[in-house]
Structure 1
Amino acid sequence: MRLEKPDRVEPHHAVLENPKFSSLGVVFKKLFKLKINTVVLLYRRLRLETPTLHLYLLPNDPSIIKAVNDREVNSKKIEKPPVTLKPLTIGSQVSLNAPKDVTVCPEEMTFQYLDAEKLQQYLELSAEQMQDKFTFCLMNTGTKEIVWKAHLKKGELISEEMDSPVLHPAQGPQPPNSSNMHFIERHREALIQRTTPVEPVLDRLHGSVLTHEQYQKITAKETNPEKMRELYRLVPSWDLRCKNMLYEALMAKIPHLVKDLEGR
């Protein structure tokens, strides 16, 4: 960039006659790809029977890292070397090379630089059974280069559960229930019509009950009733733990509505 001296200055604008602009700027913008220093954060979800991890690939930006730490309040951070082996360009496709007994969803993701206020994408890893130790690598899908590598021991997933025990489907806090139906099933229609706002409730469920894709699909609906109907489409596939977590989210965010319905 360079400063040009205007030919004349008017009250509301400046005039530059016969400017000599170069088209090289456009060429450089096409060719130049900014490399961003990146970090990997790994969290173990608590209160889940199946060992489940969230893996974030983020710009090394303190505000974004803090936002993720705040969001993963129901998780325990697994300390691994966070800095990637090399910077990444925005738009790079990455995938996780993990053992066969580990399920990774989604299989790939695109490295992005999102504002701290936005939801950050992550890879979810889960394993019903796992080895005593395994290694997984984050790879650049295009170049096949290893971006980040870590060793994880089985003890890092199953130890220290005393601080937050697993809730089995038949355990945990039970909502008041005067019939065989769960609270959220008994008051389906009322909750669809009267839950407002819906987003704080969804935020509590994101990552534990709702996947990132499900969360985005629900929040894309225009009205609160439409969002709740979309949420209720998932209820038949839920176990008791998930239903209890929805009840707890409603109690935390809209307690007056829950108490009103319980009094009926």
Structure 2
Amino acid sequence: KTDSSSYQFWGPDGNVAIDLIDGNLNTYSVHFPTAGWYLWPATGVAFGVRTAVTVKIAYASWRKHLAQQQDESWLTAGPLFDIIVDPEGAISKMHLPHFISLQLDEVDISWFQVAHFTDEGMVLEQPAQVEPFYAVLENPTFTLRGMLLRLFSGTHLSVPITSTTLLYYHLHPEDIKFHVYLIPSDSLLTKAIDEEEARFHGVRLQTSPPLEPLNFGSRYILSGSAHLEIVNQELKLSYRSPEEIQPFSKVYAGQMKEPIHLEITDKRLGNLVWETLVKPVDLHVGDALASPTFSGAAFVKEHYRQLQARMWCLGGVLDDLQDREVLSEDEKELVEQEQTRQKKNKTLLSLVEKKGDQALELLYWSLSTRDPYLMSYLRQAGLSLTR
């Protein structure tokens, strides 16, 4: 398992690295050196490029930008991006992801609109083409507020969408706990939930998504093996902005000596829409992470090379370590003077490692706070390698 899609575009001459400018604001920058087609697999965003161009991309909040819109006939249909292009006019075509299902022919593509947010408010445009999972924009213009695919429909409950089921486990000495989420297939929502779960050492298990489209606004029931205790069995498939707390079901499984079965059914129709089987062996590799004796210092040492290659939020980490007297002002400047991100990472890791395990623990704490998505990935990658 790799994270190549998380920080890379696939381009005509190979992969193009993405720079994380601000982890808290989810702001990224990428430079496309030549004309061609570039795809960001982690999000579904793609650009047709006429010439060399720099693109700045930030995730934005629908709740914030729709606060002044009083039209209930519009349905959020995918993530919202704030995109700035330099030079302007260098992008000939763009693919904008959406999670509306087209396979059942229940959605009229004329309902799809592209929303631009300007100082004057929301402007709507018809996309040039709508395909499963994305809409095509030709010769797009970009505003500071960003743009997103929007779906017009007067019957929200009948709108079929592609969805994702996320399953996390938390190990405790007496009771193993699971969190189950049912959400639209939106990369930003998944990222936000991964980060929130990582803060509490939740580990995501690999599961299949629902095989058939589910209905937006419908309610679904989580059930499972007889001995399980389930809190909040009913899940409503709806969209909440990534900065909001996402609803989930909590499942208590005791000491988990036997496999458990989980399933989700449509509340109204009663048909099965998702199921999975979890065996004790799936969880044992995570004991060290959930144990009170888990060592952040050991984690940093184990993932030394990956951290050297992938650490992004250096500014905040350096501030944290200086505030806690792990690094002096001179040592902080020594890191900042390096010419490349990888060299900065290498210098930082070397300086902290020489100061001992307590310093490494503080580095682990800072990284978990500043870049929980990276730390969650490293934990899951470690589990995959162990398996």
Q: TM-score, normalised by structure 2?
A: 0.34
Higher relative contact order (CA 8 A, sep 6+): 1
Q: Which has the higher strand share?
A: 2
Q: TM-score, normalised by structure 1?
A: 0.49
- Point out the structure with max Rg over C-alpha: 1
